[in-house]
Amino acid sequence: MEDIILSLRNLKKSFGDTQVLRGINLDVKKGEFVTLLGPSGCGKTTVLRIIAGLLDADEGQVILEGKDVTEAPPEKRNVNTVFQSYALFPHMNVGANVGYALRIRGEKKAKIKEEVARVLSLVQLEGYERRMPHELSGGQRQRVAIARAVIAEPKVLLLDEPLGALDLQLRRQMQIELKKLQRTLGITFIYITHDQEEALNMSNRIAVMRGGVFEQIGPPAEVYDTPRTSYVARFVGEANIICGKVVSASDGFVTLSAAGGVVTARDGGIDFSAGDDVTISVRRENIQIIDEPQDAVLRATVKEKSFVGGLLRINLELDDGVEIIATRCGIDSPHVPGDVVYVKFSPEHAVAVREQP
Amino acid sequence: MTNEALKLKKKSSRKRRENKRRATSALLVLPIYLFTIAFVVGPLIYMIILSFMTRAEVWGVERIFTLDNYKNIFSEVYFGTFKQSLKLAFISTLAVIVLGYPYGYYMARTSPSWQRRLMSMQMIPFWVNSLIRLYGWIIIFRANGLLDKLLMAIGLTKEPLKLLYTYPTVVVGMAYVLLPFMIYSVYGSAEKLDWSLVEASRDLGASPVKAFITVTFPLTLPGLLTGIVLTFIPSMGLFFIADILGGNKVVLVGNLIQEQLMKVHNWPFAAALSVVLMILTSVLIYIYRRVARVEKLMGDGANENKDKDKEKEMGRGV
């Protein structure tokens, strides 16, 4: 347990009548990169602000390095934040911004100067000390904000959608750099994003958040491959959701009847017995479209075809009216809207999930 | 018609349209120029000319050039008035800063509903003429007035303090009348302040006091400076406050001008006094603008235009 650096215990928070956090529990290991992933309004920024001490939780505890810091003011916590808006001090130049934490601490001028130069070189902004924030581009401001937050060597660095304001290309580049920086510094990162690709790319673990609770916490591969709830399946993998009734269950697999067919999926660790309602998730790229009926297929009608992001996307409607999406490489397929086809997927590629309200 | 000729014709018609547009816009601005010349520049020039003329024996002005009016100002009696005015303006401004900065700052920080309440507390008295409100202060300060009665009732004093017609009372009156200007200037700055900057400073290890000194104060300084200009300059000229609350004991430049103009009928001297006062305030505004420009260079470029607009307003308003 000694390598757990931060623990959140049953955090609850309400703003007026709306309960924003309904019991957040999380243990973060030293040097880990944990991403809180969720749509806007799910409470992820609230979690971050409570960790930073900028907001008080109604209930629960924040434990940093084994010490309860729930009541401690922000300046007494060895945690720094990279704000979404960067929050660079507009009346200070880059050097003063980056050196702020050390200056407040009362370090010697020469040491501050040296440290600022070192950290600026880490974020590839050597020699930018005298520039003012408004003279910098968005990406450069981002780097300054990161440099300012890491100079005091915090135990945990909190990043609130730090790349949200950057364009796609810069964002990809910064993702790589941030990951590299985290490895160099060995600081624990808690990272907030609503972009599942970013989360899958960078994290050691992802905590998928919805409505003030974590629906699933696990390594990216696990969250992606074995979503525990239909929400996680949709949000992280953009997966198709098919509902049906259990026919039989055995050896980690469940067979169900759905949309006029019978298919098999992994049971995702859930105990099923015949007759239960079941929801399975199948990712778009694992859906095959065939022309002739076979065993374990679902009949569907082609609704629409489009070419998106280098993939051909085919919208299909199952017999029970549920819409599913299949993607495949290439720019066209022989199917045209209105065609009756059969949808197939291997049991390995489908997994049963919990349907949570 | 050849292509060339067509092009030429097009060009000339475009030019004509351009000229027409320019003429129209000039015509539209003309009233503003005329108004300014008639009511601002004209009187100003008249005042300056007047200040070099001689007072007529009985009534009016004689067109004889003289520098005596200006020499007079630097005589001990009148120069003393200038010094007293500056001192009072300084003290009043200080009082206004001490009261107005926290008020404006907290007004910007509270919830919108409280903001409205605090604002109306400032605005509603303004619907009453400031002269009438100053008479209210007389009721409070006069011998055996409200304040005396209160102090004697709690037993802090044994006899009336005779506060009316004293220097401190004039300061109270000045601060009272000018306070809203400071409050609103500071409020304007503090409201624009991005609170995440203060959070960032706390996050980086600053205590609330240190965060205030290093972030909040420098970023609300432009508002404070504006407030200082808006209180310091008028406080040299608000003669009726000194008149009503100071009796004849506190004489300011404003009182002097009013007295010379309305009672003594020495117009040229009143004009000279006004010119000197105007120069004094212009110098102060110049200093303010220099300081504000330094602030702006240090500050965010995004606010630059807003500041410029405000500056322009300031220059025009005074």
- Choose among A308, A248, A234: nearest CA to A278: A248
Residue A327: name the closest of A350, A304, A346 by CA: A304
d(CA B38, CA B24): 22
**Final residue belonging to a domain, choices A225, A258, A290:** A225
How confident is the model over B252-259, as a mean pLDDT?
Answer: 87
Residues of chain B with Cβ-Cβ distance to A104 below 8 Å are: 201, 204-206, 210, 214
CATH number for position A203? 3.40.50.300
Q: Look up residue B162 and give its two tokens.
A: 């005779």
Nearest to A75 among B194, B205, B218 (CB): B205
Q: Does A180 touch chain B if contact means CB atoms closer than 8 Å?
A: no
Residue of B nearest to A149 (CA): B204
Q: A67 and A77 in contact (C-beta within 8 Å)?
A: no
Which chain B residues touch A100 with a CB distance below 8 Å? Answer: 201, 204, 206, 214
CB B181 within 8 A of CB B230: yes
Contact A87 B197 (CB under 8 A): yes
Task: Please name each of the domains of chain B with its CATH number.
Answer: 77-317 (1.10.3720.10)
The domain tally of chain A equals: 2
Same domain, A23 and A149: yes
Higher pLDDT, A84 or B159: A84
Q: Which residues are within 8 A (CB) of A109 and not within 5 positions of it... i.e. 6 or more apart?
A: none
Measured between beta carbons, the chain A residues lying within 8 angstroms of B207 are: 73, 75
Tell me the chain B residues in contact with residue A74 when contact means C-beta distances shorter than 8 Å.
199, 202-203
Reported ipTM: the value is: 0.80
Q: Nearest by CB to B204, which of A80, A90, A91?
A: A80
A189/A257 same-domain check = no
Distance from B218 to chain A by nearest Cα, in Å? 8
Residue A57 included in any domain: yes
Q: Between B308 and B289, whose confidence is greater?
A: B289
Contact list in A for residue B205 (CB cut-off 8 A) is 75, 101, 104-105, 152
User: What is d(CA A60, CA B126) in angstroms, rounded to the nearest whole number?
Assistant: 50
The answer to the question of residue A230 being in a domain is: no
Tell me which amino acid residue B82 is.
F
> What pLDDT is recorded for position B161?
77
The per-residue pLDDT for B164 is 81
Share of residues in chain B with pLDDT > 70 (%):
89
CATH of the domain at A304: 2.40.50.140
DSSP A78: S
Q: Are residues A323 and A221 in the same domain?
A: no
Q: Given the structure tokens 């004209």, which residue do they identify?
A: B42
Q: Is the Cβ of A38 closer than 8 Å to some Cβ of chain B?
A: no
Query: How far lies B282's CA from each of A75, B47, B287, in Å?
Result: 45, 16, 9
Domain-located, residue A234? no
pLDDT digits (tens, 9 = 90+) for B82-125: 888 888 899 999 999 999 999 999 999 898 899 999 888 888 88
Strand order in the sheet with A59-64: A18-29, A4-15, A59-64, A67-68
Instruction: Output the pLDDT for position B315.
Output: 40
Q: Is the pLDDT of residue A203 over 70?
A: yes
Could A148 and B204 be called an inter-chain contact, meaning their C-beta atoms sit closer than 8 Å? yes
| Per-residue pLDDT reduced to its tens digit, B278-298 | 998 899 888 888 877 766 555
Predicted pLDDT at A328: 80
Picking from A54, A90, A132, the nearest residue to B199 by CB comes out as: A54
User: Is B293 at the interface with chain A, CB within 8 A?
Assistant: no
> Token match 């040296």: residue?
A114
The answer to whether A205 and A170 have CB atoms below 8 angstroms apart is: no
**Number of CB atoms found within 10 A of residue A283's CB:** 22
pLDDT tens digits, residue range A45-80?
A: 899 999 999 988 888 889 888 888 888 899 888 899
Residues of A in contact with B218 (CB under 8 A): 91
Burial B220-233 (b: 16+ CB within 10 A, else e): bbbbbbbbbbbbbb
Per the CB < 8 Å rule, is A85 touching B196? Answer: yes
If you count them, how many residues does chain A have?
357
If you count residue pairs, one on A and one on B, with CB atoms under 8 Å apart, how many are there?
A: 72
- pTM for the model: 0.76
Residue B128 per-residue DSSP state? S
Domain edge (last residue) among A199, A225, A251: A225
> Residue A197 is which amino acid?
E
Contact A253, A347 (CB under 8 A): yes
Determine the pLDDT at residue A100: 93
CA distance B214 to chain A (A): 9
Tell whether A120 and A172 lie within a shared domain.
yes
- Verify whether the Cβ–Cβ distance B205 to A152 is below 8 Å: yes
Average pLDDT over residues B136-145: 84
Same domain, yes or no, for A188 and A256? no
- Contact call for residues B181 and B231 (beta carbons, < 8 A): yes
Minimal CA–CA distance to B277: which of B70, B63, B61?
A: B70
Task: Please answer whether residues A214 and A35 qualify as being in contact, where contact means their C-beta atoms are separated by less than 8 angstroms.
Answer: no
pLDDT band at residue B47 using 50, 70 and 90 as cut-offs:
very high
* Residue A307 pLDDT exceeds 90: no
Measured between alpha carbons, how far is B270 from B55 in angstroms, rounded to an integer?
Answer: 11
Last residue of a domain, one of A193, A225, A257: A225
Report the pLDDT value the prediction gives residue B186, as an integer from 0 to 100. Answer: 93
Interface mutation vs chain B, best among A15, A46, A50, A75, most B CBs within 10 Å: A75
Give the per-residue pLDDT at B303. 42
Tokens of A7: 């623990």
Percentage, residues of chain A above pLDDT 90: 18
pLDDT (average), residues B219-228: 90
**Are the C-beta atoms of residues A20 and A211 closer than 8 Å to each other?**
no
Give B293→chain A minimum CA distance, Å: 13
What is the side-by-side order of every strand in the sheet holding A188-193? A79-82, A156-160, A188-193, A33-37, A205-210, A213-218
Backbone angles phi, psi at B204, to 5 degrees: -85, 10
> B203, A133: Cβ pair inside 8 Å?
no
Q: How far apart are CA A212 and CA A216, in angstroms?
A: 12
The residue length of chain B stands at: 318
Q: For residue range A220-269, what is the model confidence (pLDDT) as tens digits?
A: 888 888 888 888 888 887 788 888 877 777 777 888 777 777 778 887 77
- Both A218 and A275 in one domain: the answer is no
* Residue contact A105–B205, C-beta within 8 A: yes
B303 to chain A: which residues are within 8 Å by CB? 90
Q: What is the pLDDT of residues A166-181, one digit of tens each?
A: 888 888 888 888 888 8
Please give the helix or strand (H or E) that residue A246 lies within, else none: strand A240-250
Q: Quick one: A100 and A220 in the same domain?
A: yes
* SS3 state of residue A170: helix
Residue A21, beta-bridge partner list: A13
**Contacts of residue A81 in chain B, CB cutoff 8 Å?**
199-200, 203
A41 and A158 part of one domain: yes
Confidence of residue B3 (pLDDT cuts 50, 70, 90): low
Q: What percent of chain B has a predicted confidence (pLDDT) above 90?
A: 26
Helix locations, A33-162, DSSP H: 44-52, 94-98, 100-105, 109-122, 138-150
Contact of A81 with chain B, judged by CB distance below 8 Å, is answered with yes
Average pLDDT over residues B308-318: 40
Task: Give the single-character DSSP code of B207.
Answer: -
Which helix H or strand E contains B175, and what residues bound it? helix B167-192
User: Is residue A235 situated within a structural domain?
Assistant: no
Query: Rounded CA gap, A146 and A177, in Å?
Result: 11
Nearest CA-CA partner of B291 in B311, B305, B269, B275: B311
Do A312 and A330 touch, CB atoms closer than 8 A? yes
Asked whether residue A347 is assigned to any structural domain, the reply reads yes
Beta strands in B198-255 (DSSP E): none
Whole-angstrom Cα distance, residue A274 to residue A255? 9
Residues A142 and A271 in one domain: no
For residue A255, being part of any structural domain is answered with yes
Q: What is the mean pLDDT of chain A?
A: 85
pLDDT tens-digit readout, A275-287: 778 888 888 888 8
Integer Cα distance of A80 and A74 in angstroms: 9
Asked whether residue A232 is domain-assigned, the answer is no
pLDDT digits 0-9 by tens, A27-41: 999 889 999 988 888
* pLDDT tens for each residue of A327-338: 888 776 777 787
* Lowest mean pLDDT, pick from A85-99, B140-154, B267-281: B140-154
Say whether both A219 and A250 belong to one domain: no
pLDDT at B201 (0 to 100): 93
Residue A164 located in a structural domain: yes
**Pair A119, A267 in one domain:** no
Q: Looking at the predicted structure, is the pLDDT value of residue B44 above 90?
A: yes
In the prediction, which pLDDT does B305 show? 39
Mutate to test the interface with B, among A45, A93, A100, A137 (most CBs of B within 10 A): A100
Q: Does A97 touch chain B (CB under 8 A)?
A: no
Same domain, A217 and A259: no
Nearest chain B Cα distance for residue A81, angstroms: 7
Q: What is the pLDDT of residue B2?
A: 61
> What is the sign, positive or negative, of the torsion defined by CA atoms of B12, B13, B16, B18?
negative
- C-alpha R_g of chain B: 26
Q: Tell me: pLDDT of B300 over 60.
A: no
Domain that holds residue A281: 241-353
